[in-house]
Amino acid sequence: INRYLEFIDDTIEELKTKKLIDKHINILDFGCGKSYLTFALYYYLKN
């Protein structure tokens, strides 16, 4: 989970640098497995 969140953080920072995202992003869960990654991402982005 930690590596997943590091990847997300790096991606968000890169997108911000390229001005492709501002303050609002949408996250989509396709329901292809367990939801713990979605919950971890939600918690990470909210805190």
Tokens 């939801």: give the residue.
35
Stated pTM of the model: 0.74
Task: Say if CB 38 and CB 29 are below 8 A apart.
Answer: yes
Give the domain ranges of the chain.
2-46
Tens-binned pLDDT, residue by residue, of the chain (47 aa): 999 999 999 999 999 999 988 888 888 888 888 789 999 999 999 98
Residues 6+ apart with CB under 8 A from 35: 29
